Structure 1
């Protein structure tokens, strides 16, 4: 039986393929990615993940379903305890200090991606907002699994790959997919259309996030 998330995956397949082939991802695996680009990515991703975690809480605050609320709050806490903790370890290893964090402005794409998430919840509601979360989980898993087959000669990059190729991460991906399918099954055709639109837009921003980091994007 085809799940709604299979439909979402197909709708964004061209964007996901472009992410897989993006120079940032390819050079991360080969070890050729300049460390300055990876540092820039980490700084922007720190902002994004903090907002992403809070977005889980914002959705949870609007839902009437106790199980959905509990799940989203658990996922928000898990992000802080695991994925964001890995990022903090990178910061220590690469000597990214609080002063540098404070002085680094949010790049246009990171800013736009977060605004897309917030606007989706405010305009379209809970189910589309959950669908907007999914690419950040699912695409990273697929990239991690693909890159894990060859690994990376750079320890920082290999640690990044390992984060998204593990059992813990796979379990979280399955949980968010299950919630998305449950919401789609109980939603209207219009709501499912909005869910797909939100998913594709998030997939677009995931692709642009690699480009943002690769070019070390600035406002002017």
Structure 2
């Protein structure tokens, strides 16, 4: 099945994410507030486009089940993860002025660009495949971290966002649809789907690195 093949192909980056200092510091509550704030600002940009990508895939696919799923995901993202982030922004006093004045980091920019690229050079199925690592990886991280929890209240709420049964059920549904699409696809599209998934997994790992390093663009 596609998701088993893809998960295996991207295994090194997933395992790297599970033990990344950013993730481990969320769990033990020692993550620097400055790093978490930077992460949230970059993630705001990412999630804004993630929601738009769900809608674009829905518009471009001919598969009714995918159309429905993408629109549901976009709505759930607005009501769930994006709403939680808005609460974080309020608590941390992250203002619209700060958002506007914070440059998009290279990794956040490249990750979003990679996902849009699938809709231009590949297919809606490849674009869908490139979206899965984010939700699936975060769900697995949430399940791992919730076992011991975080002593930091804000980080604990971050963990709880991804560790519930609803998140797990959503991932199983997406995996089943992608497995079906992969089996019905021709070899070229199957390759595109796998490549999109693996690159997104690499970018997930790079996103933690971006946050830890407070990444900026090189100055000429």
TM-score of the pair, normalised by structure 2:
0.97
Q: Residues 8-157 of structure 1 correspond to what in structure 2 (within 5 A)?
A: 8-157=6-155
Deviation per residue, 1:89-133 (Å, 9 max, x gap): 111111111111111111100000000001112101111111100
TM-score of the pair, normalised by structure 1:
0.97
User: Take 2:26 and 2:65, find their aligned partners in 1: how far apart are those partners?
Assistant: 38
Match of 2:206 in 1: 208
User: Take 1:194 and 1:67, find their aligned partners in 2: how far apart are those partners?
Assistant: 20
Q: Which runs of 5 or more residues in structure 1 are unaligned?
A: none
Deviation per residue, 1:57-112 (Å, 9 max, x gap): 11111111222212111111110111100000111111111111111111100000
TM-fit CA distance, 1:150? 1.3
TM-fit CA distance, 1:190? 1.9
State the secondary structure of the residue aligned to 2:137.
Answer: helix
Match of 2:160 in 1: 162
Q: Which runs of 5 or more residues in structure 2 are unaligned?
A: none
State the secondary structure of the residue aligned to 2:80.
Answer: helix
Aligned residues: 218
State the secondary structure of the residue aligned to 1:117.
Answer: helix
RMSD: 0.9
TM-fit CA distance, 1:172? 1.6
State the secondary structure of the residue aligned to 1:106.
Answer: coil
State the secondary structure of the residue aligned to 2:208.
Answer: helix
- Large movers: runs of 4+ above 4 Å: none
